[in-house]
Structure 1
């Protein structure tokens, strides 16, 4: 900054800082009221009743100044005109309200309101001093002594903050003087024991936390940070907000408290922790004093990728700080609806030069706002030129004035009218005394009764008050702060909130988000769990921070952030994404199925082939090769094989109770007949060669009766086993809904697995016996010996069924049925091919070998 500019800005600073110079000039023998006092300026306008107006118009610099700071020329800072308007407008509203009441004939008729304006310098200690000055009537501070001719001070309107209000109350309550506070509502001041004469005009903000919640729910911000004033007001707001957030499953990412003595340049931990937090949205709430200190940080540093939500209590747009404007672009504010004060601007502009010169504070405002001076001041010529003769407050731009209209101004205006209506009701009541100025020392005390009756904030508890004023529904405007490159800024209304859930509306299209966000910001601890997943919250972790786990088998979730997955009905199954249930398809090994069709065709073809072989053997029944291999047993074996192939058809098609009872038992019986026939053929071969010697006792076992008896006994045992199975735990029809996710398998349950494996084990036992005997007889003369073919057939049979058992156990549904059908067909085909293919080859293709001469010749060789 250049030296010329510094010297241009120096007058404004000097005028503001040099006002509260103090000196006493005590003269012996004179009245205390003649003591000159210029250290704390005040302005008093007399009236029948005088109201005290306390405003924070100046800031007093500490008396102790570090001399080291002035080794070089100090850098000067001017007072922005917009900031002047912000802090002076409550004073204008106060003056206008008093003037308007005095001009209203039906309000306090025949009584004139006066006022005394005092500055508390926004310091607690000076607020006490200003209170004593007002009670002394504007003269020197002499306790219990008033320099005013009449004791007509009735009430004080002041206290821009709770701390200032409490400092004033320490003096005012000693004299039972009413104190009407126009600053923000504070719970500390509701203690009627400590502050019995305080009345607050500010909104309670009892549902402000609900407005925050509605905004969070609308934008789905579940993970937010909080920056609060370290006061009772801030703590109360946090408790209400936290309880409502828990009720709506919202979480606090971090909580930072700004102490009253916070120095942003000594400790920037609050700013650092706010920056590194994963939360994208930060709610800022507290008193203006604390937040003004916090705004100092934001003047120099930027909270990147953070969306700020605050209230109009943080009046950062009233300071005219252009750098702060740019850093806070896109901020959303909750503000009570702006209510215009009709005629206020015209009143300010109509203040004439003489009125301004008489009122010390208006005079200072004009001089600082326009950088000129109205009167001669020693050494002031160097800093200020004289103001133009035609200069007045009319030259204030309307737009700038409208920008700084605040809740405080409206509260001051209402406070004056509230007091005026209360005074009128008191003076017109039945308990009034004839009012004479200066002769009603208990006037202020009597005023309390009526102030409580019509208090716009508290409910009336006194029955004599009649109907007390209730708490009106709170309404908040949602404002969006927008800054522009041309160093201008505006607040745009983008929505509103009505308390108790009566209404919430917001127009997102009108919102300008912070420049770091190209669209509506999101603020969550982690990404949402989509359909098909469920939230899993772990112990000692906020409910908003969770893991997304897929729904278990058979369950779905069809919404975002589902806490539990829903189980599909038994006749439905989840789709691949697990976000909806689909109807299951009924499955079984059907004839329409390619696999079922293939197996059915194979069964028919093999049964037909077996029938052809049987036909060949019947046709050539008298040939030596047929007769030599026991044609009766061959007929029984071929017929049983035909039945084996055909019984596999019982496994194909939609199962029912009958097929479930028949198919395993029919398979077991016909296979037993087939294996028993092979066993009989094997025994016959062995006995034929053992009974060749004349007179051998084994010859009597070579007849067909023995073979038939063996087949009958083996089959009877299997029939008994099947009978026991059916009589105890028979197979039954069931619907399997669990084996395949998308299918309902209609299948036959075997009933008793023990009985099922006993039946299979009996067949395996017969097969193993046949294989053993055939293997031992494999080296007998080849002409009459089919033991080799029997050995191969049993080897195939055993291999198939040994492989079947583990495969059968590991498959489900129609695959399991197909496996069993395949095993039946394969084992039956193995017996057919291994035993009858060589014989059919000789019978059909080598008839020359199928003669008795050839057999004898081969035997002799």
Structure 2
């Protein structure tokens, strides 16, 4: 096993040797970040201790030169990172002074500058592992560093973790948030006090969902932090129903043409909310170009890497970044830290290679007349400068967030070491009964205890790691608010705590949005579809781009942004706004609508006219015309016509079971009675002339008794049909509910269509017989030939009912009933007017014609008069009389 470990270490050492030429090929701006061939010593600040911890800080920001030599990097000293480094030293000295943790044990450190470059980070990590500097004679790959704190950037930590993980050497990062680092198979020894981007992105996605933004742009840095976080964010928000309007990557070399294109893309997009998930250097390059192009009206969302970065909190950016919002890790106020930071002076730390650079960059002076082989254009540093007199990112302790992460990382290591120091031999699971040697710590032992760390610091915050080596995710929601003094203040307007049931809490009233607005900006591709409409997605567009289409009739949508309209139940219909179902209107031929009132008036008028005719006939019953018209049949016909007019009223109003049964039966029986009487009258008129022939005995078959029997039998047939109809399949009310109609048609179902057409067919048969017989008798000589008028009445009757059938079948809804009522009234009026109007005319207006003489003598010398009111039937011929006595069956002729 030991031999295998040696082989692995040897392989790593060889790999590192081959990497050195690649690293040394880069030409760098500062001596501290320059790799050269041959023996050299990496800049390092160190302090001896019983236990020495390694640390990596990117004290210089690297930017690729855009000139001809693409391998040249320019470096700038980072005051913020230098403060993080000093915070680590502060925490270690505080622990060494405090006897509660690690009593009689002092912590030392070796701190390297990784220069924001993966190759530098790898080389410094190898230097920590080997326990030597490049060019020394030590060939061991394993040094005495049990743990490394760092690095800052996720890309740098990935490189370092891949190397340190081979040896199971614990690594605690204070600023690496890439979600990929939670993969314990790839990074088994990696832990961090910085929450994973997974939680930050989850908070950002909930923020987008909370404010209803569905059209969001994403701009990411070209590194593991930016690409990984932006991709998780895009997946999250699309899963919530939002869409990504644009997705751009900021190049690491900050090429002006590419960044200009990104800003133009943002400007041309319709989105008003853009997330910038990038490091502060990349964000600075983007916002500088946005400021140059005067890009306004964009609500910027920021990741924790830049949302509290002081490098962006300058007056030049206030016009575009005012109102920006993003999540930042929890900050803390560390007592005595600022005084510790202000203690620095080059004369006090002559062996610290970073203090001189820091001093020169802060005060823009130089301790040497020649720098980097060239004459320096800076003024000489005289040593009288004071840190307290200069406001800088280094001495600003108002936003101690990453510094607090460094502070927690140091204390986590101290608590793990303290637990190892206080171990009980029988209970230690790693050493088989013996406690670890605190002065010769094996990395696997320290990693085990680090994973078990769980303590609450003096700020009341619990520090521990989950199974992925991540801390509990807690963020402050930061809002950039421009004060009247012209300064931007970071205002906490909400919080995100992964450990709580309600993770995101927002104080909306405290938020000031971009443009100094208090109203939440709207960022959608298409406005929400109100209730009553549905989404119609546009082809070749994201799902957030759609048109709003009004629901079809009979369909509703009662929610915003409905994708489908719901069909109303059969008895309901959509309202004009299409947002709710309302009961359908019940439609029937009622007394309240115009058609019903008109038909009602016609029916009442017809019944009144029938009663008026009956009254005239009753008053003039002794006149020759009334007597000659057979008053008994006339009154029976008038009674049946009166019933026909009244039965039309049964068709008006809301159908009920008894009303539906009354409609068709009353109609069928009333008309059958009327036509039976007319048939009898027509037969008598026709047969009377047959009786004038010598030896004819035909009238003996048409006496009053025979006529009554005929009428009864004809009517009884219809009564039997209607009775059978009511007994087997009676008409009942029925509701016709067509889904495509806004009305429920309430009508009487015929029950049996066959019975209905039998009733109509029988009435048609009687009408046809009457018509034929009346037609045959139409030219019989008489001053008042009634057969002519019966012919006209039957002609009208048949015409009405022949046209009724197609009109009845094709009429919708209540118009079906109206057609039937109209047919009843039209045929009734036809019978009343054709048969009785001429008689009433003579009785009321031409009484001189209502005489026996006029009725007995015709213009042609022939007259026909009949009287069936008695048992005597009288005919006149050539103004003479022939009497036929029904009692004696004899004929008498008077000349």
TM range, smaller chain:
0.7 to 0.9
Which residue pairs with 1:462 in the alignment? none
Q: Which residue of 1 aligns with 2:361?
A: 368
Aligned pair in 2 of structure 1 residues 769, 249: CA closer, same or farther (>3 Å)?
farther
CA distance in 1, matches of 2:381, 2:131: 32
SS where residue 220 of structure 1 aligns?
Answer: coil
Does the aligned pair in 2 maintain the 1:201–1:456 contact within 8 Å? no
- Matched residue, 2:612: 612
Tell me, yes or no, if structure 1 residue 123 matches structure 2 residue 122: no
State yes or no: 1:831 paired with 2:831.
Answer: yes
Question: Is residue 648 from structure 1 mapped to residue 640 from structure 2 by the alignment?
Answer: no
SS, match of residue 265 in structure 1: helix
Q: Is the 8 A contact 1:373 1:385 kept in 2?
A: yes
Within 5 A, what are the aligned runs for 1:431-470?
A: 431=434, 446-454=445-453
1:139 and 1:146 in contact (8 A); partners too? no
Distance verdict in 2 for CA 1:614–1:374, change over 3 Å? same
Q: Which moved more, 1:644-653 or 1:576-585?
A: 576-585
SS for the counterpart of 1:333 is strand
Give me the whole-angstrom Cα distance separating, in 2, the residues matched to 1:305 and 1:681.
98
Match of residue 673 from structure 1 = 673
1:310 corresponds, among 267, 284, 302, to 302
Please show how residues 654-733 of structure 1 align to structure 2 within 5 Å: 654-689=654-689, 692-695=692-695, 703-704=703-704, 707-733=707-733
Gaps of 5+ in 2: 1-26, 425-433, 457-463, 862-895
Q: Work out the CA distance in 2 between the residues paired with 1:553 and 1:315.
A: 52
Contact 2:476/2:494 (8 A) holds in 1:
yes
Does 2:195 match 1:203? yes
Give 1:303 shift. Answer: 6.6
1:180–1:415 Cα contact (<8 Å) kept: yes
SS of 2:663's equivalent in the other structure is: helix
| 1:756 and 2:756 aligned | yes
Q: Could you give the per-residue CA deviations for residues 100-122 of structure 1, whole angstroms, max 9, x where no partner exists?
A: 22332333344433333321111
Query: What secondary structure is seen at the aligned counterpart in 2 of 1:319?
Result: coil
Q: Distance in 2 between matches of 1:604 and 1:360?
A: 119
**CA pair 697-535 structure 1, distance change in 2 beyond 3 A:** farther
RCO (CA 8 Å, sep 6+): is it higher in 1 or 2? 1
Asked if residue 45 in structure 1 is aligned to residue 47 in structure 2, the reply is yes
Residue 86 of structure 1 aligns with which residue? 80
Conserved? CA contact 1:136–1:143, under 8 Å: no
**Is 1:219–2:211 an aligned residue pair?**
yes
Q: Distance in 2 between matches of 1:617 and 1:226?
A: 100
Instruction: State the Cα distance separating 1:338 from its structure 2 match.
Output: 1.9
Contact 2:60 2:78 in 1 (8 A): no
Alignment-derived partner of residue 8 in structure 1: none
Change in CA separation of 1:541 and 1:765 when aligned onto 2, cut-off 3 Å: farther
| Cross-structure match for 1:155 | 147
Change in 2 beyond 3 A, CA 1:337/1:518:
closer
- 1:687–1:740 distance in 2 versus 1, CA, 3 Å: farther
> Following the alignment from structure 1 to structure 2, what is the Cα–Cα distance between the partners of residues 491 and 159?
26
Between the aligned partners of 1:841 and 1:252, the Cα distance in structure 2 is: 92
Q: 1:507 corresponds to which residue?
A: 507
Report the CA distance shift for 1:444/1:836 in structure 2 as closer, same or farther (over 3 A): closer
- Offset, 1:668: 0.6
Secondary structure of the residue that 2:476 maps to in structure 1? strand
Q: CA RMSD in A?
A: 4.7
Indicate if the aligned counterparts of 1:46 and 1:114 stay in contact, CA closer than 8 A. Answer: yes
Is 2:482 the partner of 1:480?
A: no
Residues 653, 269 of structure 1: CA spacing in aligned structure 2 closer, same or farther, 3 A cutoff?
A: same
- The question of whether the paired residues in 1 share the 8 Å contact of 2:79 and 2:393 is answered with no
Instruction: Give the SS at the match of 1:114.
Output: strand
Distance change >3 Å, CA 781–CA 722, structure 1 → 2: same
Deviations 1:604-662 (A, max 9, x none): 44323322312322333343333444443322211211221222333345544333222
Matches within 5 A, 1:554-593: 556-562=556-562, 574-582=574-582
The aligned residue for residue 56 of structure 1 is 58
**Deviation readout 1:365-397 (Å, 9 max, x if unpaired):** 222122123455469886222346542211233
1:422 corresponds in structure 2 to 416
Closer/same/farther in 2, CA of residues 52 and 63 from structure 1, 3 Å limit: farther
Q: Is contact 1:644–1:670 with CA below 8 Å preserved after alignment? A: yes
8 Å CA contact retained: 1:86, 1:319: no
Does the CA contact (< 8 Å) of 1:733 and 1:746 recur in 2? yes
Q: Is the 8 A contact 1:51 1:155 kept in 2?
A: yes
Deviations 1:715-766, CA, capped at 9 Å, x for gaps = 2332232233223211124455659977766543221123212312332333
Tell whether the 8 Å contact from 1:688 to 1:702 is kept in structure 2 after alignment.
no
CA distance in 2, matches of 1:447, 1:270: 46
The separation in 2 between residues aligned to 1:60 and 1:528, in whole angstroms, is 46
Do the aligned partners of residues 92 and 777 (structure 1) sit closer, same or farther apart at CA in structure 2, a change above 3 Å counting? farther
CA spacing shift, 1:681–1:733, aligned 2, 3 Å:
same
Distance change (3 Å), C-alpha of 1:778 and 1:346: farther
Which sits farther off after the overlay, 689-698 or 675-684? 689-698
What secondary structure does 1:477 align onto?
strand
Aligned partners of 1:755 and 1:360: how far apart in 2?
A: 116
- Following the alignment from structure 2 to structure 1, what is the Cα–Cα distance between the partners of residues 36 and 717? 132
Shift of 1:843: 1.0
- For residues 185 and 448 of structure 1, the distance between their equivalents in structure 2, rounded to whole angstroms, comes to 20
TM-score by length of 1: 0.80
**Greater mean deviation of Cα atoms: 619-628 or 221-230:** 221-230
Kindly state the Cα deviation for residue 333 of structure 1 after the two structures are TM-superposed: 0.8
| CA pair 662-433 structure 1, distance change in 2 beyond 3 A | closer
> Which deviates further from its counterpart, 420-429 or 227-236?
227-236
Matches of 1:384 and 1:478, distance apart in 2: 42
The residue matched to 1:840 in structure 2 has which SS?
helix
**Could you tell which deviates more after superposition, 448-457 or 421-430?**
448-457
Query: What SS does the aligned partner of 1:354 have?
Result: coil
Instruction: Output the CA distance in 2 between the equivalents of 1:455 and 1:233.
Output: 27
Distance 1:537 1:816, change over 3 A: same
Q: 1:324-339 maps to which residues of 2 (within 5 A)? A: 326-339=319-332
For the residues of structure 1 that align with 2:355 and 2:621, how far apart are their CA atoms? 141
Aligned to 1:497: 496
- Which range moved further: 785-794 or 544-553? 544-553
